Structure formats: C-alpha cells, structure tokens
Amino acid sequence: MDETSDKQSFGKGFVILTAAGLLIKVLSVFYNPLLRRILGEEGVGIYSSVYYVFNFVYVIGNTGLPSAISKNISELLALQRYKDAVNAFKITRLFLFALGLFLSLSLFAFAGPISKMFGNSSIKIGLQVLSPTLFITCLLSCYRGYFQGRGNVKPTAVSQIFEQVFNVVFSLLIAYLLLKYGDIELGVAGATTGTTIGAIVALLILISYYNKDKTIRVSKINAKEKVQKRKALLLKKVIKYSIPMTICVLIQNMGMLFDNIIASRILPTMGMNADALVGNVFNYNSLVGVPIAIITSLSVVVLPAISRFAALDDMKNLRKNTFYAYKLTFLVSVPCAVGLMSLSGPICKILGYNSVIVNLLVLGVLNIVLMSVAQIQVSILQGFGKINVVTFHSFFGLVCKIVADIVFIRMPFFNIYGILIGNFVYYLVPILMNSLSIRRTLRCKIKMAKRIFLIVVSSVLMGAAAILCHRVVSFVFGLISKHVYINNVIATVISIVVGAIVYVFVLTVTKSIRKKDFDVFPKKLLKVIPSFIKNRLT
C-alpha cells in the first residue's frame, strides 16, 4: 500500500491512544484494590518491588528501540525511502528477538542475587515467573514501533486493550488459586503470570495486523550488495538512536526504583513497615498513571510527527507541533491533577485505599503536571534529534532526586512523603534544562504563560464544582439510601462528569480553546460535547 494511505492525523492518533490508555488505566486502578484483597498490604508491597525491578529491565528492550524504530521509519517515509523503512523494521525485529531472549534468561538466572541486593528474598520467584515476558514484549514493542512510525496507532491501541484485559483476569485468578494452596510468595508469583499471558495475546494481534497490511509499495532495487550494506547502516542508525533513548527511559524508571530501595532501607530504621508504605506509593502511582497515560499517548504521536518535520527541516511545522503538544499537555495534566486532588478522598474510599494515599494525591498534585511536561519535552527533543542532550538532563535530575530522597525520607516529619519532594526536584530540574534546549532549537520563545493561567483558573473552578457536587449528591442520596459505598460511587461519577463540563465551559468562556482546536479530532468526539458549549466555540 502507499505510505500515506494509513497516516492518521496528529489529533486522531492522540484520541485513539488516549481512549485505549484510559481504559487500560481504569482497569489497572480497579485491579490494584482487588489484588490487595487477595495478597494483603504486605503482598502488594512485595508485588510492587517485583515490578519495580522488572520494569527497570523491561525498558532496556521495550522503550528505546521501539521509539528509535518509530523515529527512524517516520524519517525514512518522509524522505520517501520506503524500502529502507521496511528493512529497518525487519533487521530491528531480528535484533530484538536476540535481545529479548538474552534479557529473559538473564533475569531468570540472576533473580536470586537481585533479591539479595534488595534485601528481600520474597521477590525471587516473582522475577523468575516474569522473566519470559521480556522476550515476548521485545517483539511486541517492535511491531508497535513499526505501526507508530507509519502513523497508524490503531493496532497499538487494540493490542494494548486486549493485553490489559487478559492481564487483569488471569493475574487475579492465578494469584487467588496459588495463595489458596501456597504461601504469599507463590501468590505474588501468580499475580505476575497475567502479564505474560496478556503480552502473548497482544503479540498475536499485532502479527495479525502486520500480515494483513505489511507491505509498503516501493520500486525494486536491483543492486543486492547495496541493499545489504544499507541494512547494516539502518541497524547502526536504529541502535545509535536507541541507546540514548533507552538510557533516558532507564533513568526515568530508576527514579521509582531508587524510591523503593531508599525507602525500604531507611523506613525500617525508623520503626515503620517499609513493604506496606512502598505498597501505598505503588497504588498512588497507579492512580497518577491515569492522566499520565494520556500524556504517554500524546508522546507516542509527537515523536514521529516531530521527527518527520525535523527530517524535512520544516521549521514552521516544528514550531506549530511543539506548541500544540505543550498546549495539549497543560490542557490535560492540570485538570487531571486538580481533579485527583479534589476527589482524592471519595476515589480512595471507592478503591479501599487508606489515608496515606489520599495525602500523597493531595500533596503530590503539582508533580503530576511536572511529570507530564517533562515527558512531552523528552519526546519533543528526541524528535529534534537532541537525544543525548535530553538524556543528560534526565540523568542530572535523577542525581538531584536521589539526594532529595535520602535527605527527606530520613526526616521523621516527611518519612514516605519525602518521595514527593524527591519527585518534584526530579521533574523540575530537567524541565528547566529542556526548555532552554527547545528554545534554542526552535529559535523562538514559546509563550504559554497566559494560556497556563487560564487553564489553572478553569481547573480550580472545576475542582470546586466537583467538590460541591459530591457533597450535594452524597447528601441527597444519603436521605434516600443507607448504602454509603454505593452513594459515594454515584456521587463521585456525577461529580467527575459535572467537573469536566464546568472545565470545558470555562475554557470556552475564556477563549482558551476555540473551534479550530477541535478540527484535528474525530467528528464523533464532537457529538459528545454539550450544545451549550459548542455554541460558544468561535
């Protein structure tokens, strides 16, 4: 097929991935309390430790290389080098096959020493059960990078949804069965098996999509030697991109890993249950992951788009897409942060979370916005080709975070909440450095102060409306029904809907969003917007 036939718009791709990402995160949010009921607080703490280690190894083969594939294929298609785009995918797939096999065997073999390093032998079995997943996900991420580079995000979205559904169902089922007939370590190991099953299902779906539509029509190249030489150069380029990209994501994941290590070693000396508190942070991160899933979707779309215009040296569209990415980031992250803070109590009651997680959501509200901005900046700079620059900025932020974690977690007043201060430093430092690099590259200043102020005002009014709505609805339903839990669920859902409507309405009143901003989104999405809001769009 022609290389442009499956190109989806920037906005449409963002909407598709966002819808999938939100559905996945909602499943994850409800999965965690169910898992906690099965494993208990201590079991969830062990489970989170397993995944912190697994995620650290996971990013080696599942982040840098797929992003490099996406960036490389997007650039090659923009330059009309279609045969090279196909070859880049095939040679990288072979490389990831070998890398995935190596990572799986390594994690299985070194699970024991790793568990000793963490001072927690309970995570050994869980790591060994998870190890085959690395091989599967390496291949899985290769296919996703291929489709994203072509601008077709539908296969990624569909595979992610099925992956999470199978993950949730089988993780809970097997964890319950193994815990019933074994100890907590077996239960934790059982909870990880769904990840492998989900990955297998997702891989089969992507292979099916690829087999249905795997060709990019190109003219035949007669010189075989030239093609073989080009394949080697393509792999070299992908690896050149992937190494700093992988290091960058490793650094980002090392933040959570160091949270775990530092908290696990310091908190027991203060007479606190480290496993339980680390489990609270894990659940907090799962809630924060809901808005971050939207930003991740945006990042996936931004990288190939920016890379395409950078390859063509199209400065006008580079500036336009960079500004649009920033705008969407703030439009999404600020209201999500305020919404989680405003309804933190009701949401945590629904999920059965304790007051520690409520406090983390309230005190960590700013970190959600900073995390979102830092993430989108990474994709922007990687699209520019400033891969080493953004990696250094992230590393410098990590060093600052480690120092902040050690200082503040050690203080009895902060204890586990010291992680929030560490994260604040972790995101703010790279943001300031990235902003300077983006400004120098675009040779202009991105003026966002007024827009950000209006978005913050709209979000605060949204939060106030949500709180008021929840109290009114809870009071009314309290007179009708004595089912406190059900009343809270209904009140929370209604409050979220009302808050969202208020937010969009205030944005239209302040002219923060206009009719043209919706042009890139699917027409079906516009039908959901209330008419009294659409009529105000200019």
457: tokens are 């005002």
Q: Is the pLDDT of residue 520 over 80?
A: no
pLDDT of residue 462: 95
Could you tell me if 413 and 529 lie in one domain? no
416 DSSP assignment: G
Residue after which a domain boundary falls, among 446, 462, 485: 446
Assess if residue 72 is contained within a domain. Answer: yes
Q: Is the pLDDT of residue 215 over 60?
A: no
pLDDT of residue 388: 87
pLDDT of residue 108: 92
Q: Is the pLDDT of residue 363 over 60?
A: yes
Could you tell me if 423 and 493 lie in one domain? no
Residues 6+ apart with CB under 8 A from 378: 248, 252, 299, 390, 394, 434
Of the candidate ranges 11-15, 73-77, 159-163, 326-330, the one whose mean pLDDT is the lowest:
11-15
267 DSSP assignment: G
For 426-464, the pLDDT digits (tens) are 999 999 999 999 998 888 888 888 889 999 999 999 999
Assess if residue 268 is contained within a domain. Answer: no
Could you tell me if 185 and 212 lie in one domain? yes
> What number is the average pLDDT over the span 287-303?
78
For 220-245, the pLDDT digits (tens) are 444 344 444 466 777 777 777 778 87
Share of the chain above pLDDT 90, in %: 26
pLDDT band at 124 (very low <50, low <70, confident <90, very high): confident
Could you tell me if 202 and 253 lie in one domain? yes
> What number is the average pLDDT over the span 495-510?
90
Could you tell me if 441 and 458 lie in one domain? no
Q: Is the pLDDT of residue 273 over 80?
A: no
Assess if residue 6 is contained within a domain. Answer: no
Q: Is the pLDDT of residue 300 over 80?
A: no
Could you tell me if 440 and 496 lie in one domain? no
Helix-then-strand count for the chain, H and E: 18, 0
Are 138 and 103 in contact by the 8 Å Cβ rule? The answer is yes
Query: What is the crossing angle of helices 418-442 and 224-266, to 10°?
Result: 150
172: tokens are 């809970």
Could you tell me if 456 and 411 lie in one domain? no
Could you tell me if 114 and 167 lie in one domain? yes
pLDDT band at 518 (very low <50, low <70, confident <90, very high): low
pLDDT band at 336 (very low <50, low <70, confident <90, very high): very high
Residue after which a domain boundary falls, among 431, 446, 461: 446
Could you tell me if 229 and 347 lie in one domain? yes
Assess if residue 3 is contained within a domain. Answer: no
pLDDT of residue 221: 44
Residues 6+ apart with CB under 8 A from 372: 291, 292, 295, 329, 332, 333
206: tokens are 């992507």
pLDDT of residue 87: 80
Question: How far apart are the two ends of the chain, measured CA to CA in Å?
Answer: 39
For 456-500, the pLDDT digits (tens) are 999 999 999 999 999 999 999 888 888 888 999 999 999 999 999
Q: Is the pLDDT of residue 521 over 70?
A: no
Q: Is the pLDDT of residue 280 over 50?
A: yes
Q: Is the pLDDT of residue 143 over 70?
A: yes
pLDDT of residue 528: 67
pLDDT band at 393 (very low <50, low <70, confident <90, very high): very high
Share of the chain above pLDDT 70, in %: 89
Could you tell me if 322 and 381 lie in one domain? yes
What domain range includes position 409?
14-261+273-446
Q: Is the pLDDT of residue 184 over 70?
A: yes
pLDDT band at 321 (very low <50, low <70, confident <90, very high): confident
Assess if residue 9 is contained within a domain. Answer: no
**Maximum C-alpha span of the chain:** 81
pLDDT of residue 532: 66
Distance CA 359, CA 194 (A): 31
For 35-83, the pLDDT digits (tens) are 888 888 778 778 878 887 887 788 777 777 777 787 788 888 877 777 8
Assess if residue 411 is contained within a domain. Answer: yes
- Total count of domains within the chain: 2
Q: Is the pLDDT of residue 23 over 90?
A: no
> Which is more confidently placed, 214 or 135?
135
pLDDT of residue 226: 45
For 340-357, the pLDDT digits (tens) are 999 999 999 988 888 888
pLDDT band at 30 (very low <50, low <70, confident <90, very high): confident
Dihedral over Cα of 215, 309, 67, 223: its sign: positive
Dihedral over Cα of 492, 496, 501, 507: its sign: positive
Q: Is the pLDDT of residue 507 over 80?
A: yes
pLDDT of residue 523: 62
Find which of 273-282, 410-419, 450-459 is predicted with most confidence, using mean pLDDT: 450-459
pLDDT of residue 80: 78
pLDDT of residue 526: 61
247: tokens are 């290091």
> What number is the average pLDDT over the span 159-174?
90
Which long-range contacts (C-beta less than 8 Å, at least 24 apart) are formed by 208-211? 209/143, 209/147, 209/155, 209/158, 209/159, 210/143, 210/146, 210/155
Assess if residue 2 is contained within a domain. Answer: no
pLDDT band at 534 (very low <50, low <70, confident <90, very high): low
pLDDT of residue 3: 40
Query: What does pLDDT average to over the chain?
Result: 82
Residue after which a domain boundary falls, among 417, 446, 475: 446
Assess if residue 1 is contained within a domain. Answer: no
Could you tell me if 165 and 90 lie in one domain? yes
Of the candidate ranges 223-232, 264-273, 296-305, the one whose mean pLDDT is the lowest:
223-232
Could you tell me if 143 and 31 lie in one domain? yes
